[in-house]
Amino acid sequence: MSGINYSEKIPNNVDLASNRTLQRALEHWQPNYLKWWADMGPDKSTSFDVYLRTAVSVDPKGWAHYDYVRMPDYRWGIFLAPAEAGRQVNFGAHKGDTAWQEVPGEYRSTLRRIIVTQGDTEPASVEQQRHLGLTCPSLYDLRNIFQVNVEEGRHLWAMVYLLHAHFGKDGREEGEALLARRSGDADNPRILTAFNEKTPDWLSFFMFTFITDRDGKFQLAALAESGFDPLSRTCRFMLTEEAHHLFVGESGVARIIERTCELMAQHRTDDVAKLRGLGVIDLPTLQRYLNFHFSVTSDLYGSEVSSNAASFYTNGLKGRFQETTIGDDHRLESAQYPVMEVIGERIVTRNVGAVTALNERLRDDWTHDLENAIERWNRIPEKHGIGFRFKLPHKGFHRRIGVFAEHHVSPDGKVLAEAEWTHRHQQWLPSAEDRAFVQSLMGRVTEPGKFANWIAPPRQGINKQPVNFEYVRFG
């Protein structure tokens, strides 16, 4: 069944009406969710009519229905990708078994933790971004952040559905706790560190959607391989929504680079003070933001060598990125994988059992994806005849988790003494001054077709609408 029943209180394609207990539980959670949205969703936005994309069915044709919606009226619901007939567990010890429609008892707490950890990131990012609408660089961008926000909200719904449908009372309690934690709260913070960081400006937002939402993509892709079929189907549908967030990030930073390069070429200068005087963000500052977000997000993958990751895999709960397209035994009983470690002042690579290095492997897949995207950014200065190239820092740079946590590593991969790090790290990470400068650019542009000075307009509008379309109407 691919159609979504919008006449029900909770739109869904999981035949919710046939399970009254579940339906009642979710209908009980729904007002709490809406209260959370009212408290922690985009600031002062409830009366805006936003040109949003809503799925009216999960098949390709019904995927993107565009219309003006007030965000509290957005039809959040439960959508699973269509079931794949005869699907099996495709990796680990259970490889070849029929995929599970119910949670295997022995993996219950592990799966619950995986789902809660993923689910917690969704409302967290909405909370992190909630004030950005007040400083939007254009109506187009305002619409995009709202689209990202409502879809993060829907991802929370997706995870809460799994908790309610498959984890009984525990799951319902977790559902409430997901609405109770707050990003950055000292007493009741979100689970993962990166989701307690501030997203104070639009550059941070674009970097976050480019880098951290890409972590989301790789985590979801690994969970989409899960032997627990409802999780797999949920994540597959979420991936399609996640792609939009990556687009917002990649194109957002690209437009900032474009605008800076334009002025660099026009004024024949790469002088930072002069460029800042012209009201654009200099490329070295963009590189420092990139370094920061890359390193903080790297930590989300966890330790290089992890017995948890190994058991998730062996037990068929979480696969590798594009597991089924990899040509190996899908059990990893004897395969090796290279991980780094620090010995004295040297960083060396050693092979470990591949099944224990799955965090590292997923981090490497993500890094590779980022490198390709950054190469696309690099075509922009190149096009303007500017020699600057963006580059990801070394994976050991500025880490808090894993083998590099106790070391200081420069972006080009040198192990540094404490003193040298203290002396130099401000060259590599955004300084208070950088952040203050970026913050100083944040105004609010809401005239259709107008853009803040520090960002170029997009190449095309949303859903083929013109760039000067009224993407948000203020009530």
Partner 1 sequence: MQTAELIRQHLIDPEICIRCNTCEETCPIDAITHDSRNYVVKPEICNNCNDCVAPCPTGAIDSWRSIAKPYSTAEQFAWDSLPAAAEDAGNEDRPGDIPEEVARFAAAASQAQGGTAPPPWSAAHPYVGLYSLARPAIATCAGNFRLTAADAGSDIRHIVLDFGTTAFPVLEGQSLAVIVALAGGQHVRMYSIASPRNGERPGYNNVSLTVKRVTEDRDGKPVRGIASNFLCDLKKGDQLSVAGPFGSTFLMPNHPGANLIMICTGTGSAPMRAMTERRRRRLALKEGGELMLFFGARTPGELPYFGPLMKLPVDLIDVQLAFSRVSGKAKEYVQDRMRACGGKAARLLADENTYVYLCGHKQMEQGVEAAFAEICGVDWNAMKERMRSAGRYHVETY
Binding site for partner 1 (CB under 8 A): 60-64, 217, 239-240, 243-244, 246-247, 250-251, 369, 372-373, 379, 459-460, 462-464
In whole angstroms, the minimum distance from the beta carbon of 284 to partner 1 comes to 24
Nearer to partner 1, 179 or 254 (CB): 254
Nearer to partner 1, 27 or 59 (CB): 59
- Interacting residues of 78 by C-beta distance below 8 A, sequence separation 6+: 10, 11, 12, 13, 14, 16, 26, 157, 158, 161
In whole angstroms, the minimum distance from the beta carbon of 381 to partner 1 comes to 14
The whole-angstrom separation of Cα 269 and Cα 280 is 12
In whole angstroms, the minimum distance from the beta carbon of 236 to partner 1 comes to 8
b/e sequence 154-176, b meaning 16+ C-beta within 10 Å: bbbbbbbbbbbbbbeeebbebbe
The whole-angstrom separation of Cα 430 and Cα 31 is 40
In whole angstroms, the minimum distance from the beta carbon of 430 to partner 1 comes to 24
Nearest to 391, CA basis, from 261, 287, 292? 287
In whole angstroms, the minimum distance from the beta carbon of 475 to partner 1 comes to 26
In whole angstroms, the minimum distance from the beta carbon of 217 to partner 1 comes to 8
Which runs of consecutive H residues, i.e. helices, occur in 191-228? 202-207, 213-224
In the chain, what is the straight-line distance between the N-terminal and C-terminal CA atoms, in Å? 37
Question: Using alpha carbons only, what angle is made at residue 22 by residues 17 and 26, rounded to the nearest 5 degrees?
Answer: 95
Nearer to partner 1, 341 or 369 (CB): 369
Nearer to partner 1, 65 or 424 (CB): 65
Nearer to partner 1, 248 or 286 (CB): 248
CB 274 within 8 A of CB 264: no
Nearer to partner 1, 23 or 260 (CB): 260
- What is the crossing angle of helices 307-314 and 358-383, to 10°? 100
